[in-house]
Amino acid sequence: MIKSWLGHLQLNIDPKNVVFYKEIFKVLGWSVLYEDDSVVGVGDKNKTSLWFMPGIKTGKNDYDNPGMNHLALAVSAQADVDSMVAYLGAHGVDCLFDTPRHRPDFAEDSSQTYYQVMFESPDRILFEVVYTGPVDK
C-alpha cells in the first residue's frame, strides 16, 4: 500500500480577492508561504498548502455543480468556531445554512458534537470551519 497525504490544493480566484484569503487563513493560524498581487499560498502546521491563483477563465463558480462542494477546516475547540463567526460578522461575510450550529446527526454520540459554520468567499468557494469532539458545556 502506498502511504499518502494531502499535499496542496489550488483554488482559482479573481486576483482582486487575494486579501480575503490571506486574512481568513491568518485568523485560522496558517502561515503565508508566498504572496504577490494576484497569488497567495498558505500552509498549515502539517505542511499542507492551499494556493489561491488567478483563474484562466471567467465565470461564476457553483459549488452544487460537479466538482468540489466545500473545503472544511477543522479547529480544536467550539470557541474557535465562534471566533470565526465573530470575524466573519465583523467583515460582512454571511454565515450560510443556519450556521453556526451543532449537527447531532454527524456526532458519534450525545457526548460529542459536530459544530460548524459555513460561508462562501467572494469567488463563491464554500468553506466550513468545524469542531468535532466533546460537547463544550
How is the chain split into domains, by residue range?
1-59, 60-137
Equal fold, 1-59 vs 60-137: yes
Q: What is the CATH architecture assignment of 60-137?
A: Roll (3.10)
**Average of per-residue pLDDT across 100-109:** 93
- In this prediction, residue 9 carries a pLDDT of 96
Q: What is the CATH architecture assignment of 1-59?
A: Roll (3.10)
98 pLDDT tier (thresholds 50, 70, 90): very high
Instruction: Please report how many Cα atoms fall inside a 13 Å half-sphere around the Cα of residue 120, on the Cβ side.
Output: 15
Query: Does the model's pTM come out above 0.85?
Result: yes
% of the chain with per-residue pLDDT over 70: 99
Contacts of 22 (CB under 8 A, 6+ apart): 32, 35, 40, 42
- In this prediction, residue 76 carries a pLDDT of 94
Helix, strand, coil share (%) of the chain residues, nearest 5: 20, 35, 40
Whether residue 76 contacts residue 55, with contact meaning beta carbons closer than 8 Å, is answered with no
Unique residue bearing C-alpha cell 455543480: 65
> 115 forms bridges with which residues in the sheet?
102, 131
Calpha distance 130→95 (Å, rounded): 13
